Structure 1
Amino acid sequence: MTSTHPPSSAPRPAGFGLVLVLGLAAMVVSMMQTLVVPILGVIQRDLDTSTSGVSWVTTATLLSAAVFTPLLGRFGDQHGKKPTLVGVLVLLAAGSVLAATTDSLSLLILARVLQGAATAIFPLALSVLREEIPHERLHTAMALVSGTLAFGSGLALVGAGLLTQGAHPDYHRVFWLACGLAVLALIGVLLVVPASRHRTGGRTDWLGAAALAAMLVLLLLPISQGHEWGWTSGRTLGLFAGSAATAVVWVLIERRVREPMVDMRMFVHRPVLFTNIAGLLVGFAMFAQFLGVSYLVQMPEELTGYGFGASVLRASVEYLLPTTLVSLVAAQFGGMLVSRIGARMTLVAGAAFGVTGFAWLTLQHDSTPDVILAGMVVGVAISFGYAAMPALIAAGVPHHQSGIANGINSISRSVGSAVASAVITSLLASKTIQHLPAGAPPLPEESQFTLSFVLAGGAFLLVALAALVGLATTRRAGGQEAHAVSGAATGSVPATGAGSVPEAVAEQAPAR
């Protein structure tokens, strides 16, 4: 398909301001995922609802992200990244205002749906970087913007904890914080982000978008609610079966329409496929560390024999914030590694840090320094993974598919996080300590935390396997690589469809 705005020979000059603004926007995205975690109890009490009712405050955002991220990523490819970014940030600000002013659970869930659309900001931001940043600085810029995701998650936890301290906590303040940051990011995008030069135009594949959205909702809904409904209940199993059936329908639609939302050849193209698998696994490990450490340090040692009796705020500031700060710093080194040793080997290095960090947590989690330092090692792993995956996606698809490809990768990480939440929650509830004092709530045995960390370390082992085997460089006869990453990343790959995608782009050789 011919772009209505043909690409120029080189990206326009872009400075630190663009990276800063897009990093701020990405940070706001990640904040929406964890912002409500510390205040769910406050919301449940203030709105006089049940545990299953308040769980929709998080589930609504997850489902909204699944629906809107690929759709808006594709819309940005077709009609321009900047106007799409502006529209998404307006939705985010509106949702934040609604959440900050309502005392109705239904309206709060609607507000969280609007906030969930913000997940599309991240793939759109990466597409802008690919279009505007010179290749020699592209990997570092992508890594820095990606690094703000982990930082935003930690900042949201700390901010929510601080804003709801005191005898009469008010959850509305947390959403006013979200509104202020959304408006700040919106102003930055309006002032700094240039108009898109690559627009494919064309029709929107509404039928394919609806099928993809239905498939993701049918998949994520039982994952997020299965611990409430029961994993073997008819509702849970029926939704999983419906998701599988809808996936078949979606593939059939996308293979038949003239302008599909997702080109199936791109979707199953080896570098893209295995990068998305890695994204799912990294998302699982990241959320397993967040939930596992958060719950572990809050366990009352006098009742359980382990844990540190930390408050929610102390758990966020003392035990989780160091991980997020290290992630932000390590993002710079991740971008440098991508340029020097390639995105594939950077992903392997991140997986090695992840296995090390979770092995540490598995074997030694009975002292504060061990938990903090092991978490910081995991933070490096997450940062390197986030640095590598956008580079792998950029190398694997032409310009006109950047938005949708990064959108699918974002969804893969969201699915991984949702699976982690379900698995860790179920594990901790499945085996509780016997002989607790009367009136004490059920508390998990320490072995369940150990098993959780083992599973997360196993996820990073699979990331290494996906990088070493699934993303292994394919070579043509004669021993030459099919394509260099630099060609794909700067747009020199012909934008004629997935058939023009390079066969081997998972590994970038060091500059010679």
Structure 2
Amino acid sequence: MLDVLTKRKNTVTPTDRVAPKRPTGDLSLVLVLGLAAMIVSMMQTLVVPILSIIQSDLGTTTANVSWVTTATLLSAAVFTPLLGRFGDMHGKKPTLIGVLLLMIAGSVLAATTTSLLWLIVGRVLQGAATAIFPLALSVLREEIPPAKLHGAMALVSGTLAVGSGLALVAAGLLTRGSDPDYHRVFWLAVGLAALALVGVVLRVPSSRATTGGRTDWLGAGTLAALLVLLLLPISQGHEWGWSSARTIGLFVAAVVMAGVWVLVERKVRAPMVDMGMFAHRPVLFTNLAGLFLGFAMFSQFIGVAYLAQMPKELTGYGFGASVLRASVEYLLPTTLISLLAAQFGGILVGRIGARFTLAVGAVFGVAGFAWLTLAHDTSASIILAGLLIGVAISFGYAAMPALIVASVPHHQTGIANGLNSISRSVGSAIASAVITSLLASKTIQHLPAGAPALPAESQFTLSFAIAGVAFVLIVAVALVGLTKGAAQEYTVGKTADAAATDDDDAAAADETAVETVGVTS
């Protein structure tokens, strides 16, 4: 299969060459991009604790209000690869500015509307912000000297975990009280996005390495259709029924569309996604690791949040915590350790290589979920296990961009990291579906009359065990899939004659790409 995907030849234009890095305020640039990336994860997580408030205020059903999260997931799947590629072609700074403007527009709409339909439209616009992360990594690769790139990428990546945790705390604080107003949460998003926009305008330099060319609208459209057909049944399957004709039909349609997308990208002259790059072993296995990491991270978030809120007097387990207490006491420590561990992850990438950093982090994750599986009856166990998982997430976020950057040419950095972001989003969507279905599949019997259905404790145990298996699979990917011999940059297909006449340009680009990160020890 890999041979089939890599047969197609492409050409590299002179504008793909990488100019020497110019002096910049490295720290201020990294902080601005870190803030922008943090907003991405905050935007995705902010609404999770307030869905019940939105449902009550708008007088809608649980199934309808779930589209507030589903719409953003689908929007991110469509926009992230398209805008990542657009940034490669036409410049990262203008693309970042455009994305943040969409984020602000969507947040203002969500903050002012009292209609579920327009709220969903606002969330669709917010979903475009997911493209900020791969664009930020592209800027770092272009502007930060190689000696500092490991730490810079690790810090920006680490802000994703921080944003998720802070969003939960912020949502809890802004909606506490007897008359909670969910609109405040979206006004917070407006303010943060505006702050990031000012930072991008003032501190992010204009791109010097762009490819130009036409946008592959056919490839973008088929990829968007594929992701929507895949993510829609994953996110709504628990409502529709996993064996329903609608769910199965959409999964089948996704498989068909995947074949159509591959055929389209192999035929068009300037594909949005180079199939050779997509199937290149380091890229392919890094995306697989991203899928597992997204699954494990979201499993911890959902599992711990629900477990902490279980009323012990009815279930015999849990801590009866409010949303705010669950966020601050049980999830915020994971967030804080992720930020602290980010720099250590960057150092490890430079010293032992990205794939071994990924493996070391995954071992921490296995230990953390093993702890949760075996002992989740005390607050100390939940918090300490969360610290181990936080280190695992942070090391994973530090290693994966390094693996991608070292494995693709400069002009494909945006689209390659965009696809990796999508893989994590798909993993998170699968985790949400799996954990929700598991918790609903077995409930406690003989509850008092009028009490809501509550999951059996064994379902939390099973959920944590499955998440631990995801980290075991990451270890396997790092040590077996990402072998030393496979950790080489993908060379965009050139004919032998073209390569012979362009040795200097290719050598310059390869040298810049290879020197940035260590993939192996």
TM bin, normalised by shorter chain, reads over 0.9
Cα deviation code 1:433-481 (max 9, x no counterpart):
0000001001000000000000000000000000000001117xxxxx8
1:55 to 58, 66, 69: 66
The residue identity in structure 2 corresponding to 1:269 is H
2:294 to 283, 302, 316: 283
* Aligned-pair CA distance for 1:2: 1.6
Root-mean-square deviation (CA, aligned residues, Å) is 1.9
**1:129 corresponding residue in structure 2:** 140
**1:195 corresponding residue in structure 2:** 206
* Aligned-pair CA distance for 1:508: 3.2
Cα distance change on mapping 1:208 and 1:482 into 2, 3 Å: closer
The residue identity in structure 1 corresponding to 2:85 is R
Write the mapping of 1:347-358 to structure 2, written as runs, cut at 5 A: 347-358=358-369
Helix, strand or coil at the partner of 1:494: helix
**1:173 corresponding residue in structure 2:** 184
Identity %: 74
Write the mapping of 1:350-499 to structure 2, written as runs, cut at 5 A: 350-474=361-485, 494=506
1:153 to 145, 164, 168: 164
Contact between 1:473 and 1:506, CA under 8 Å: does it hold in 2? no
**2:495 corresponding residue in structure 1:** none
What TM-score do you get using the length of structure 2 for normalisation?
Answer: 0.92
Paired with 2:334 and 2:350, the residues of 1 have a C-alpha distance of 24
2:40 matches 1:29 = yes
* Aligned-pair CA distance for 1:501: 9.1
Paired with 1:493 and 1:179, the residues of 2 have a C-alpha distance of 43
1:205 to 206, 216, 221: 216
Contact between 1:216 and 1:243, CA under 8 Å: does it hold in 2? yes
Tell me the matched-pair count. 494
* Aligned-pair CA distance for 1:493: 8.8
* Aligned-pair CA distance for 1:405: 0.1
**2:498 corresponding residue in structure 1:** none
Write the mapping of 1:183-332 to structure 2, written as runs, cut at 5 A: 183-332=194-343
**2:352 corresponding residue in structure 1:** 341
Paired with 1:204 and 1:36, the residues of 2 have a C-alpha distance of 33
The residue identity in structure 2 corresponding to 1:54 is V
Which blocks of at least 5 consecutive residues in structure 1 are unaligned? 476-480, 485-491
Write the mapping of 1:104-119 to structure 2, written as runs, cut at 5 A: 104-119=115-130
Cα deviation code 1:61-86 (max 9, x no counterpart):
00000000000000000000000000
* Aligned-pair CA distance for 1:495: 8.8
Paired with 1:396 and 1:177, the residues of 2 have a C-alpha distance of 37
Cα distance change on mapping 1:493 and 1:355 into 2, 3 Å: farther
The residue identity in structure 2 corresponding to 1:416 is G
Paired with 1:482 and 1:229, the residues of 2 have a C-alpha distance of 44
Which blocks of at least 5 consecutive residues in structure 2 are unaligned? 1-11, 491-503
The residue identity in structure 2 corresponding to 1:409 is N
Contact between 2:231 and 2:429, CA under 8 Å: does it hold in 1? yes
Paired with 1:399 and 1:482, the residues of 2 have a C-alpha distance of 14
The residue identity in structure 2 corresponding to 1:384 is F
Cα deviation code 1:28-54 (max 9, x no counterpart):
000011100111010000000000000
Paired with 2:423 and 2:290, the residues of 1 have a C-alpha distance of 6
What TM-score do you get using the length of structure 1 for normalisation?
Answer: 0.94
Contact between 2:18 and 2:508, CA under 8 Å: does it hold in 1? no
* Aligned-pair CA distance for 1:346: 0.2
2:106 matches 1:95 = yes
Helix, strand or coil at the partner of 2:484: coil
Contact between 2:296 and 2:468, CA under 8 Å: does it hold in 1? yes
Paired with 2:23 and 2:207, the residues of 1 have a C-alpha distance of 11
Contact between 1:147 and 1:328, CA under 8 Å: does it hold in 2? yes
Helix, strand or coil at the partner of 2:485: coil
Paired with 1:359 and 1:31, the residues of 2 have a C-alpha distance of 28
The residue identity in structure 2 corresponding to 1:449 is F
* Aligned-pair CA distance for 1:407: 0.2
**2:79 corresponding residue in structure 1:** 68
Cα distance change on mapping 1:455 and 1:26 into 2, 3 Å: same
Helix, strand or coil at the partner of 2:461: helix
* Aligned-pair CA distance for 1:15: 1.6
**1:507 corresponding residue in structure 2:** 519
Cα deviation code 1:403-452 (max 9, x no counterpart):
00000000000000000000000000000000000010010000000000
